Each structure stands twice: as C-alpha cells, then as structure tokens.
C-alpha cells in the first residue's frame, strides 16, 4: 500500500493498493463520465490488460478508505524518468479530491525510487481538467508528444518533487 496520509473532501483516506484477487474486478469496472471518453478508455480494464500483457506499466487501485474509486499506473523509462499514467477516477467519485490526492501520493512515492530524476505524464490537449490538475502540481508541457497527447514533466530534487506539499490537499 502507498499512502501520503491524504484525505478527500469527505475525510476518506486516499491510498494506492496493489491490484489483487480481492479488488481487481472493482478496478476493472472503474469508468469515466461519457464526455470524458475521448480522453480515456471506457473502462479501467483496458489499463489492467496493458499492465499485465506488456509489463511496462504497473497498475494500482485508488482507494478511498476501503472502497475502490479509481485506477492509476506508473512506469520507468530508460532515461531515468518515471511516468504516471492511467489516471481514472470513477465518474460518480470525481470532484471529491480523490484524483489530486492520488496523483500527489504516487508522485511522492515515485520521487523516492532509485535514480528518479524526473516525473512525466501525458494528457490530451483538450482535457482541461487534467491539464489544470497537473499544472497545479508542477508539471510543465515539454516539446515531446505521445500520439495526440502533450507530454509534461517536472524535475525531482533531493528525491522529492519540491512543491509536493504546496497545493491544497
């Protein structure tokens, strides 16, 4: 389990758990709102399959207390950067502070991985909610792209992103 001891706006503890025999069905069923379908798959099941088939990404369950409310995944690039991806909060659970807490939690954990010098992620340029969230956590667009997505990054200093604790919880 990965935790930064962060809570959502309802006071639920937001933690990241390994996907296991108990929770994988709930993670697979995580779905975006209909108008978010241009940006992410219809179900987090697609991310789970990507993680298990290709061995590049590592899926985690985003939990609020004991309830699975989302999916997030991470991967390591050969250049020493660590990637966050597959950020998806179940439609009815959005806007409660879970997404921000989940990203901050994974950022802090990745920053402490061996040799981590930069955190990276990508998002569709029209996905303004995600873009604002990542911008507020210090991610700046790079000149790189991934398909039709903007690649954004932020350096890691002394094992931790410097402004990790600045944004509101």
Ligand X SMILES: CC(C)(COP(=O)(O)OP(=O)(O)OC[C@H]1O[C@@H](n2cnc3c(N)ncnc32)[C@H](O)[C@@H]1OP(=O)(O)O)[C@@H](O)C(=O)NCCC(=O)NCCS
Shortest reach from residue 92's CB to ligand X, in Å? 10
Name the residue number minimizing CB distance to ligand X: 99
Residues 59 to 98: which contact ligand X by CB under 6 A? 87-89, 94-98
Task: Say whether residue 99 binds ligand X (CB under 6 A).
Answer: yes
Nearer to ligand X, 150 or 156 (CB): 150
Site string for ligand X, 13-52 (x = CB under 6 A): -------------------x---x--xx------------
Q: Which of 123, 139, 150, 156 lies at the binding interface for ligand X (CB under 6 A)?
A: 123
**Nearest 5 degrees, angle CA 46-CA 55-CA 57?**
60
CA 36 – CA 147 distance, rounded (Å): 18
Nearer to ligand X, 82 or 123 (CB): 123
Nearer to ligand X, 11 or 115 (CB): 11
CA dihedral sign of residues 40, 46, 52, 58 = positive
Stretch binding ligand X (CB under 6 A), from 12-20, 42-50, 129-137, 152-160? 129-137
Residue 58: how many CB atoms within 10 A of its CB? 15
Q: What does 11-74 look like in DSSP terms, one character per residue?
A: SPEEEEEE--TTTHHHHHT----GGGTTTS-SSTHHHHHHHHHHSS-EEEEEEETTEEEEEEEE
- Torsion-angle region of residue 37: left (phi > 0), alpha (psi -120 to 50) or beta? alpha
Interface residues with ligand X (CB under 6 A) are 32, 36, 39-40, 87-89, 94-100, 123, 127, 129-130, 133, 136, 168
């Amino acid at each position: 389990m990965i935790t930064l001891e962060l809570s959502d706006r309802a006071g639920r503890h937001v933690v990241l758990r390994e996907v296991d025999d108990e929770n994988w069905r709930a993670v697979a069923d995580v779905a975006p709102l209909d108008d978010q379908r241009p940006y992410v798959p219809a179900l987090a099941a697609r991310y789970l399959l990507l993680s298990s088939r290709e061995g590049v990404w590592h899926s985690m369950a985003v939990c609020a207390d004991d309830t699975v409310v989302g999916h997030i995944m991470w991967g390591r690039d050969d250049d020493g950067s660590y990637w966050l991806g597959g950020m998806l909060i179940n439609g009815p659970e959005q806007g409660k502070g879970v997404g921000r807490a989940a990203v901050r939690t994974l950022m802090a954990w990745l920053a402490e991985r061996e040799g981590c010098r930069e955190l990276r992620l990508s998002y569709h340029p029209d996905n303004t909610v995600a873009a604002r969230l990542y911008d507020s956590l210090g991610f700046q667009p790079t000149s790189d792209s991934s398909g039709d997505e903007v690649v954004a990054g932020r350096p890691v200093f002394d094992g931790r992103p410097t402004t990790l604790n600045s944004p509101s919880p």
